[in-house]
Amino acid sequence: MLDLRKATGAEIRRLARNGEWKGPTPGLAVGYAQANLAVVPRDLAFDFLLFCQRNPRACPLLDVTDVGCPEPRYAAPGADLRTDVPRYCAYRYGEWMDDPSDLFDWWRDDLVGFLLGCSFTFENALQRAGLPVRHLEQGCNVPMYRTTLACRPAGVFAGPMVVSMRPMTPAQAKEAARICRHYPLSHGEPLHSGNPAALGIADIDHPDFGDAVEIRPGEVPVFWACGVTPQAVAMKARPSLLLTHKPGHMFVTDLRDENRTGEREA
Amino acid sequence: MLDLRKATGAEIRRLARNGEWKGPTPGLAVGYAQANLAVVPRDLAFDFLLFCQRNPRACPLLDVTDVGCPEPRYAAPGADLRTDVPRYCAYRYGEWMDDPSDLFDWWRDDLVGFLLGCSFTFENALQRAGLPVRHLEQGCNVPMYRTTLACRPAGVFAGPMVVSMRPMTPAQAKEAARICRHYPLSHGEPLHSGNPAALGIADIDHPDFGDAVEIRPGEVPVFWACGVTPQAVAMKARPSLLLTHKPGHMFVTDLRDENRTGEREA
């Protein structure tokens, strides 16, 4: 029996492809970078790629496929974006349509797939350093908030930055910043710590996405740019078709967590 | 009288715009990142942006303009790509047409401008550290070579990596690598040092572009990814229109040299 924590990215993808793993992926294939998936039609792909380039904290690019090609040749050669994610979401003109287990009924020859770094990488690093990751301790989803920070727009894509929050003491927050600086492909350093109002967050106990977590005495909320940002922005642009992973059900790449440049080892 | 070494990026751009500076830009506005310029039509912009994303060593993106907009709002708000470079080159279907001093006769509503980091930033850093930059000592252009390293292709854009070369002792090369690691937007660490044949370079004394430089006893050739790569690749794709800076006549940005992420200070 395969220990999923110790599995490789390729092993998790094979299980997802064969329908043997349909669940969320946190804690699986530790050491392999996991990725947010967004698939848009060719006519929006330049704007979306430009949006990612202009907002690297929220949208760290791990790989972008050739038009119509479901293989992310760089982040996971041989993989198939249509089958290798445990569960997907499909949207037409910004409206949810289905949560399919593969994309064969949705794929088109004009689609471009984007794989964007996710927070699991830096959360693993925080845990290794003994820093608290409260939503993991509490067994719930990370709290996420719409802010009044505007992303740099690109064509039809525009909207506010979405941030995730993890409570820590100020000393722990400093240490977290020092660690996360080394993971630019996993959202990098926190954007802010301390005052939710500085980001336009009115009520820290009522996140816009995910679940509220306990902030203990002596702790402050620490905010990171969040991978939900490009999805929220893409949805708002109401593309004829948008395909994504189902939240928490990520694409597991062959890239190692500690990869800091996105360049693959030779 | 303005000391051009100590000028700001904006001052150099204003001189270029007014026709008061038509020369090359090395050594001007020290501390400000200078950039390679490439302008392509909208229908090739996705492929070109993707080429840059896939080949970040050769093509470090500083800014990409909105379609038809000549202002690089991020790297130099208020600047105009049509006037602020001392001298341009214009190509149709890969053939050289003219070296205009502005782009008013060439600009179209469907053009997209790309500003890519250049080697001047890391050369300044090498000089500050007391390391040799031979072509500057000899007062000539840096030697550049086509290699047998293939770039990762993107759509119509494909071709070999072009590298620049600076001779150093092995100890100096190690120090140079340590320094250049901090300048990912200026080509980053050397790709290789020592053996030209490992890159498919047959004759180190006959560069494909630029000038040969002296390699002294005890020195080895040290190779960096070069910003000529995207230009060579773009030319080969024979776009209906390609506009660039004239070699050495760069666009001077408002970004500081030491900027490591491309994010602008708040």
Q: What is the pLDDT of residues B190-230, one digit of tens each?
A: 999 999 999 999 999 999 999 999 999 999 999 999 999 99
For residue B39 the two structure tokens come to 């302008």
Section A107-135 average pLDDT: 94
CA torsion sign for B250, B254, B260, B262 is negative
Interface contact B64-A74, CB threshold 8 A: no
Query: Domain check: are A92 and A45 in the same one?
Result: yes
Question: Which token pair is A185?
Answer: 């492909």
- Asked if residue B65 lies in contact with residue B49, where contact means CB atoms within 8 angstroms, the answer is no
| Percentage of residues in chain B having pLDDT higher than 90 | 88
One domain, residues B131 and B74: no
Q: pLDDT at position B257, please?
A: 82
Statement to judge: residues B91 and B14 lie in one domain: yes
Q: How confident is the model at residue A266 (pLDDT cuts 50, 70, 90)?
A: very low
Segment A230-240, tens digit of pLDDT: 999 999 999 99
Residue B266 has pLDDT above 50, yes or no: no
Mean pLDDT of A243-252: 94
Same domain for A87 and A138, yes or no, is no
Size of interface A-B (CB pairs under 8 A): 43
A49 → closest Cβ in B46, B56, B261: B46
Residue B261 counted as domain residue: no
Contact B72, B81 (CB under 8 A): yes
Residues in chain A within 8 Å Cβ distance of B67? 155
Between the two ends of chain A, the Cα-to-Cα distance in Å is 32
- Whether residue A66 lies within 8 A of chain B, CB to CB, comes out as yes
* Any domain includes B114: yes
Which residue do the tokens 């993971």 mark? A183
Q: Is B64 within a domain?
A: yes
On whether residue A262 sits in a domain, the answer given is no
Output the average pLDDT for chain B. Answer: 94
- CA–CA separation, A234 and A223 (whole Å): 22
User: Could you report the per-residue pLDDT of B80-92, keeping only the tens digit for each?
Assistant: 999 999 999 999 9
- By the CB < 8 Å criterion, does B77 face chain A? no
Question: Which letter does DSSP use for residue A209 in this model?
Answer: B
Q: For residue B79, how far is the Cα from the chain centroid? A: 18
Please, are residues A116 and A10 in contact by the beta-carbon 8 Å criterion? no
The DSSP 8-state label assigned to residue B63 in this structure reads: E
Note down the domain range covering B127. Answer: 120-229
Tell me if A64 and B54 make a contact (CB, 8 A cut-off): yes
Q: Please list the alpha-helical segments (H only) found in A58-189.
A: 120-128, 134-137, 170-180
- Residues A95, A135: one domain? no
Contact A74 B152 (CB under 8 A): yes
Residues A243 and A213 in one domain: no
| C-alpha distance from residue B226 to each of A46, B51, B143 (Å) | 25, 14, 10
In a domain, B214, yes or no: yes
Find the length of chain B. Answer: 266
Domain containing residue A86: CATH number: 3.40.1640.10
Minimal C-alpha gap between B53 and chain A (Å): 8
Give per-residue pLDDT as tens, B152-192: 999 999 999 999 999 999 999 999 999 999 898 899 999 99
Any domain includes A51: yes
**B263 falls within a domain:** no
CB contact B93 to A (< 8 Å) = no
For residue B211, give how far its alpha carbon lies from the nearest alpha carbon of chain A (Å).
30
Which pLDDT band, with edges at 50, 70 and 90, does B26 fall under? confident
* For residues A116-122, average pLDDT: 92
The encoded tokens of residue B41 equal: 């039509």
Judged against a pLDDT cut of 80, whether residue A241 lies above it is answered with yes
Q: Are residues B131 and B165 in the same domain?
A: yes
How confident is residue A261, by pLDDT bands cut at 50, 70 and 90?
Answer: low
* Parallel, antiparallel or unpaired: strands B242-245 and B32-41: antiparallel
Tell me how many domains chain A contains: 2
A236/A95 Cα distance (integer angstroms)? 10
Helix (H, G, I), strand (E, B) or coil at A129: coil
Q: Which of B64, B184, B188 comes nearest A53 by C-beta?
A: B64
Is B51 in contact with B151 (CB distance < 8 Å)? yes
Within its chain, how far is the Cα of A156 from the centroid? 21
Task: Report the pLDDT value the prediction gives residue A184, as an integer from 0 to 100.
Answer: 87
CB-CB under 8 Å, A66 with B54 = no
In the predicted model, is pLDDT for residue A147 greater than 60?
A: yes
Identify the closest residue of chain B to A63 by CA–CA distance.
B54
Q: A135 and A178 share a domain?
A: yes
DSSP 3-state assignment of B145? strand
- Contact, B174 vs B242, CB < 8 A? no
Q: What mean pLDDT is predicted for residues A172-197?
A: 94
Most confident of A30-34, A99-103, B181-185: A99-103
Q: What does the alpha-carbon distance between residue A24 and residue A13 come to, in Å, rounded to a whole number?
A: 12
**In-domain check, residue B262:** no
pLDDT at position B114, please? 98
pLDDT averaged over every residue in chain A: 94
Residues B109, B10 within the same domain = yes
> Do residues A112 and A42 make contact, with C-beta atoms less than 8 angstroms apart?
yes
Distance separating alpha carbons of residues B37 and B63, to the nearest angstrom: 10
The SS3 assignment for B232 reads: helix
> What does DSSP say about strands B111-117 and B61-64: parallel, antiparallel, or unpaired?
antiparallel
Question: If contacts are CB pairs under 8 Å, which of residues 231-260 in chain B contact chain A?
Answer: none
Q: How confident is the model at residue A2 (pLDDT cuts 50, 70, 90)?
A: confident
CB-based contact B54 A61, cutoff 8 Å: no
Q: Could you tell me the CATH number of the domain that includes residue B171?
A: 3.30.2040.10
Chain A residue nearest residue B113, CA to CA: A50
DSSP state of B157: B
Do A128 and A98 belong together in one domain? no
Q: B75 with B101, same domain?
A: yes
Residues of A in contact with B53 (CB under 8 A): 49, 53, 61, 64
B261 — pLDDT class (breaks 50, 70, 90): low
Same domain? B12 vs B106: yes
H helix count then E strand count, chain A: 6, 11
